[in-house]
Amino acid sequence: MTPETFAAAGLVSLATARTHDSTPSRRIPSLYADAASWTVLRAVDELWAGAPESVRATADGTAMVLVSTHSTLDTMRALARAVPSGRLSPLRFAGASAGSPVSLVAQVHGFRGPTLVITTGPEDGAPAALIMARQWLRTGAAAQVVVATHEHAPEREHPPENGHSPERGHSPERGHDVRCDVVTETPR
């Protein structure tokens, strides 16, 4: 999303962050979260660090909307693969929820406004995300809204030297890209 996209929706971005993470790390012991969740959290950490003090001071009035086709699909697939063994982790069930990335951010940053995950691509989901953000702001449900998009590069392979496809079992380079903005209404 661009400043022009926000302006067309009657919104203004107060801060922006973008991150790519191919190996997201856990930072809360004994808490399971999907790689997408950790990457979204890292992006919002960066966003929050660069936001004006007035924005950070109203965390409890902050809402969040995330647009992601992939979301926690890695964890959902891991659970499905574990079914035949009969050994399923209850922590992973919680981490598999499509809302987990937003929940993790809200827990860490103290956001108490409404949250929403739109499970579609950023091109299709961004208009709906901006409509929701504007509605929450206009109705007073939130003082500001973090609008984030998450894209996933599921299997970016390093090109093989001989030009042929890599062998099965090759470990793909995975990556999560997150862009987020904290927005408010355009002053009238």
Structure tokens at 115: 């949250």
Q: pTM for this structure?
A: 0.77
Q: What is the mean pLDDT of the chain?
A: 79
The string over 149-165, giving b where at least 16 C-beta atoms fall within 10 Å of a residue's C-beta and e elsewhere, is: bbbbeeeeeeeeeeeee
% of the chain surpassing 70 pLDDT:
75
Q: Any idea which architecture 3-19+30-157+173-185 has in CATH?
A: 3-Layer(aba) Sandwich (3.40)
Which pLDDT score is estimated for 158?
37
**Do strands 115-118 and 144-156 pair parallel, antiparallel, or not at all (unpaired)?**
unpaired
Q: Which has the minimum average pLDDT: 26-30, 88-92, 181-185?
A: 26-30
Q: In the chain, where are the structural domains located?
A: 3-19+30-157+173-185
Which pLDDT score is estimated for 88?
74
User: Residue 65, class by beta-carbon neighbours within 10 Å (0-12 exposed, 13-18 middle, 19+ buried)?
Assistant: buried
pLDDT digits (tens, 9 = 90+) for 54-112: 899 999 999 999 998 777 667 677 777 777 887 777 766 666 677 788 989 999 999 99
User: Residue 30, class by beta-carbon neighbours within 10 Å (0-12 exposed, 13-18 middle, 19+ buried)?
Assistant: exposed
Q: What is the mean pLDDT of residues 141-145?
A: 95
